[in-house]
Structure 1
Amino acid sequence: MPTPGPPAPRTSASARAAVLSGLGTSLPPRVVTNDELAQRLDTSHDWIIERTGIARRRVAAPGTTTAALATAAGRAALASAGRSSCETVIVATTTPDRSCPATAPSVATALGLTGAAAFDVSAVCSGFVYALSVASSMIVAGLCGSVLVIGAELYSAIVDPDDRSTAIIFGDGAGAVLLERGERSAPGAVLHHDLGSDGEGRDLITVPPGERFLRMRGREVYVRAVPTMTASARRVAEAAGWRPGEIDGFVGHQANLRILQSVAKRLELPDERVIANIAEVGNTAAASIPLALASAAGQGRLARGDRLVLTAFGGGLTWGSTALLWSGARPVHQEVEPLS
């Protein structure tokens, strides 16, 4: 029998971390501008820009599924990392294709990952941050070595096209990251999380029982979102040992440009450190943070090793933040294709 070689080096539990190695996106090709909405709603391009910062959003073609968007983004993230497989798939979504079963197993199978662990996370606009915390915890605990985390939303399926308060805001899309086992000192390391909820606010962002469409009390959401996101971002930065001024990039959930600007001001961050792509894609809920990351990375705004804080607030009410070091991953985009 051959003589066994030396054992492979093992990372201690205290030094182990989930490391972001791939980043992928998928957006429907159809662009809906503010002017198009103004033709049928009591609004205008200038009114929408002033109140939300949104100029256009993407809307999926009839028959497109959340699974199709998620699969395209997941495949792109794997390609970005130079991988063809992973051990676990987590899909964060508000718009699953079915109430039962979850969307993630269909996505895993479409990616050729039949047998992989796969499940959904439902935390509305905070879903990606929640899923990221679950995925990184699984890796740090040694339960698996790689997790594909996907935020995918088909909000056109639950937004009333005649409701000005929501139709101007939401768009469809998906973004994904691949996490792999690594060390806390490595670029891409996910360092700390902060999560919270308050069910007393469940009616502020909701699809009421027995109804089809989303309803949102925007002003009340704004009043709650700004201080909550600020406090969560501060907690996670402090846990990482960073002063607010040492944050290189603030990646907030792309709900409203005024919310992002208000939180950044409270954190005393200059505008150039605020990552925002809401003007181009609108509010894509659980997909918004990875889509914003990909936009910034594609524009060369993020440098390897940058200290990033991701922060989200959404229905539930839920909120959460993550501190990580940027990996330098190059985003890959893939067009959505129908699933059989």
Structure 2
Amino acid sequence: MIRTNEWKSNAAITGIGSYVPERRLTNDDLAAMVDTNDEWIVRRTGIRERRIAAPDEFSSHLAVKAAQQLLARYAKEAADIDAVLVATTTPDTPFPSVASRVQRALGIRACLAFDLNAACAGFVAALQAAGGLLQTGAYRKVLVIGVETLSKITDYSDRSTCILFGDGAGAVLLESAPEGAFIASDAMTDGSGGGSVYAAGLSTEWDGQPLAGGGKIVQNGREVYKWAVSHVPEGVRRMLDKVGLEPRELDWFVPHSANLRMIEAMCERLELPAEKALYSLTHYGNTSAASIPLALDLAVREGRLAAGHLVALYGFGSGLSQAGLLLRWTLKSPQK
């Protein structure tokens, strides 16, 4: 049964930061590795380059730098944070969590810290979870980070996947606000489609069938594309229906930055101008859980995203999972 109730939280975003590794991997670089070229990649995905973590650089390093930038830009104190949620599919280690590594690096003692894995829907799912924590009244300031080092599980001999993925991190701070900026949410999962995009781990089978890839990303791009272009617009409309709004009333639509052609198709189905979509894929590629916060921070830096804007975030990916959040952007210019 699809839930139709309206959901609100007293949460508001009060800070944002991001970090991407220094190394750039361009389409021309990839053309020297596999049978592809810049024109082919741009025409099919919109991606021109992506950032790649150094061999000794892992998700926790990127997450900490994004969080530190947030704290410096908005004059926030790490000691005031009482929960750290990290959305990632590429933790440094299965345990301890990336969140606990962030806690240690920032010197926070009295805080809840855990990782959340919902793949490319992870950041929005983490925002939903963080909003719930604030709603209980037991937590006041929650740091939410989306981070990936997908290059470490990408097969660079597979041209269908290696052209897509990159590394990066985006962080936001959530705090309780009298009027709450989170307006409505959406979530849907179809585990039967899990074999469409995966990375094998302790188990190497899915529904009795062997999983390929040896721990690297394997994706049936055609199936994922069809599923996303159909289900994401439905989810966005379902979320807006809960509060009596239409897509045309949005100031910005921020889907997971998987593929520009996919985003354009979603906008067409929503009858929304493609210019209203924010994405981070052009220079960062598909960064899974990091793609939406990276897109938000880019828009803040460019002056496009401003206080008062109505924004629909929508993550989707492996699982097959999808998570949406409708919010009123309240963040003003950084203090530093």
Q: State how far apart, in whole Å, the 1-side matches of 2:53 and 2:112 are.
A: 28
Query: In the alignment, is residue 27 of structure 1 matched against residue 30 of structure 2?
Result: no
Letter in 2 for 1:44: N
Tell me if structure 1 keeps the 8 A contact 2:315–2:323. Answer: yes
Mapped to 2, the partners of 1:81 and 1:286 lie a distance apart of 23
Q: Quote the Cα distance in structure 2 between the aligned partners of 1:16 and 1:263.
A: 27
Quote the residue 1:151 is aligned against. Answer: 146
Q: Do residues 201 (structure 1) and 193 (structure 2) align?
A: yes
1:317 matched residue in structure 2: 320
Question: Retained in 2: the 8 A contact 1:22–1:330?
Answer: no
Name the residue aligned to 1:132.
127
Aligned equivalents of 1:327, 1:106: Cα separation in 2: 29
Q: Distance in 2 between matches of 1:320 and 1:118?
A: 21
Q: Compared with structure 1, are the counterparts of its residues 312 and 159 closer, same or farther at alpha carbon in structure 2 (3 Å cutoff)?
A: same
Report if aligned partners of 1:15, 1:183 keep a CA contact under 8 Å in 2: no
Instruction: Report the Cα distance in structure 2 between the residues aligned to 1:299 and 1:207, rounded to whole angstroms.
Output: 35
Question: How much does 1:226 deviate?
Answer: 1.0
Residue 188 of structure 2 aligns with an amino acid whose one-letter code is G
Gaps spanning 5+ residues in structure 2: where? 1-6, 205-213
Runs of 4+ in structure 1 over 3 Å off:
328-333
Which residue does 1:76 correspond to in 2? 69
Is this contact kept in 2: 1:302–1:328, CA < 8 A?
A: no
TM-score, structure 2 normalization? 0.91
CA distance in 2, matches of 1:30, 1:38: 17
Comparing 313-322 with 76-85, greater Cα deviation is found at: 76-85
After TM superposition, the structure 1 stretch with the greater mean CA deviation from structure 2, 288-297 or 78-87, is 78-87
Residues 148 and 287 in structure 2, CA contact (< 8 A), matched pair in contact too: yes
C-alpha separation in 1, matches of 2:334 and 2:284: 16
Matched, 1:40 2:22: no
1:213-240 CA-to-partner distances (Å, cap 9, x unmatched) read 1100000000001111111111222223
Residue pair 2:257, 2:280 contacting (<8 A) in 1 also: yes
Q: How far apart, CA to CA, are the structure 2 residues paired with 1:199 and 1:127?
A: 15
* Correspondence list, 1:246-257, <5 A: 246-257=249-260
* Residue 118 (str. 1) matches residue 121 (str. 2): no
How many angstroms does 1:329 deviate by?
Answer: 4.0
On the 8 A contact 1:22/1:177 being kept in 2, the answer is yes
Give the secondary-structure state (helix, strand or coil) at the position aligned to 1:176. Answer: strand
Counterpart contact for 1:19–1:183, Cα < 8 Å: no
Residue pair 1:69, 1:173 contacting (<8 A) in 2 also: yes
Instruction: Name the CA distance, whole Å, in 2 between partners of 1:311 and 1:172.
Output: 20
Residue 16 (structure 1) shift: 5.8
Q: Which moved more, 1:123-132 or 1:73-82?
A: 73-82
Q: Which amino acid in 2 is paired with 1:194?
A: D
Residue 228 (str. 1) matches residue 231 (str. 2): yes
Deviation at 1:278, TM superposition (A): 1.0
Q: Structure 1 residue 239 and structure 2 residue 242: aligned? A: yes
2:236 alignment partner AA: A
8 Å CA contact 2:142, 2:175 repeated in 1: yes
The 8 Å contact of residues 297 and 331 in structure 1, kept in 2 or not, is answered as no
Give the partner amino acid of 2:265.
S
**Quick one: distance in 2 between partners of 1:325 and 1:41?**
43
Q: Which whole-Å deviations, capped at 9, do the CAs of 1:4-62 have from their partners, x for residues lacking one?
A: xxxxxxxxxx9861010000000001111100100111000000011111000000111
Aligned residue number for residue 287 of structure 2: 284
Which stretches in structure 1 are left out of the alignment for 5+ residues? 1-13, 334-340
Matched residue type, 1:232: G
- Tell me which amino acid in the other structure corresponds to 1:30: R
Q: State which drifts further: 75-84 or 159-168.
A: 75-84
Task: Read off the aligned partner of 2:241 and give its amino acid letter.
Answer: E
Give the letter aligned to residue 178 of structure 2.
E
CA distance, structure 1, for counterparts of residue 84 and residue 236 of structure 2: 26
Letter in 1 for 2:269: R
Give distance in 2, aligned partners of 1:263 and 1:15.
25
Letter paired with 1:308 = V
- Is 1:260 matched with 2:263? yes
The 1:61/1:331 distance shift into structure 2, 3 A limit, reads farther
Q: Return the alpha-carbon distance in structure 1 between the equivalents of residues 331 and 243 of structure 2.
A: 19
Count of matched residue pairs: 317
1:174 aligns with 2:169: yes
**Which AA in structure 2 matches 1:202?**
G
TM-score by length of 1: 0.90
